[in-house]
Amino acid sequence: MVTVTLKGNPVKLYGKQLEVGQDAPDFTVQKNDLSEYIFTGATGKRMIIVSVPSLDTAVCDMETRRFNDEAGKLPDCEIVTVSMDLPFAQKRWCGAAGVDKLITVSDHAGASFAKSYGVLIEGGPLDRLMARAVFVVGRDNKLTYVEYVKEIGEEPDYEAVLDALK
């Protein structure tokens, strides 16, 4: 079991945390144009799936901008950032931040992703938001890297994420 904290205080996560070698679970979320984004496996491409509490926070902003920059250098890799932010807020944020190389999706309606990936926060000030985590999915739909960032206010290990793609 992974321990995640917010300002040093433990945070309860709903569901079972994933591990390297497992199949990436399916999920259905909403793109910022309000259409569905349905993940039913990596189907021959590499993916980075990132969960963040909210794009409107400093660390999530930095992290999403960084992965957007990396997306421009990884032509055969799709990067998806998932948050509970409403699609309208995601669209506004992406426009203001110039984020256009990755896909932002909202899990606000059913928490499909958050429950399947074990990142849904239960209780406390971030109730029903998501813990910060990164999942790298290989072409065979197997998880090749899993990081539940131990302190929600910190960034993930970008180098380890990128190394997992090699």
Residues identified as active-site:
60
What are the respective helix, strand and coil percentages of the chain, to the nearest 5? 20, 30, 45
Report the candidate in 83, 75, 68 with the shortest Cα–Cα distance to residue 31: 83
Q: How far apart are CA 117 and CA 124, in angstroms?
A: 20
Q: What DSSP letter does each residue of 54-115 carry, written as one string?
A: -TTSHHHHHHHHHHHHHHTT-TTEEEEEEESS-HHHHHHHHHHHT--SSEEEE-TTT-HHHH
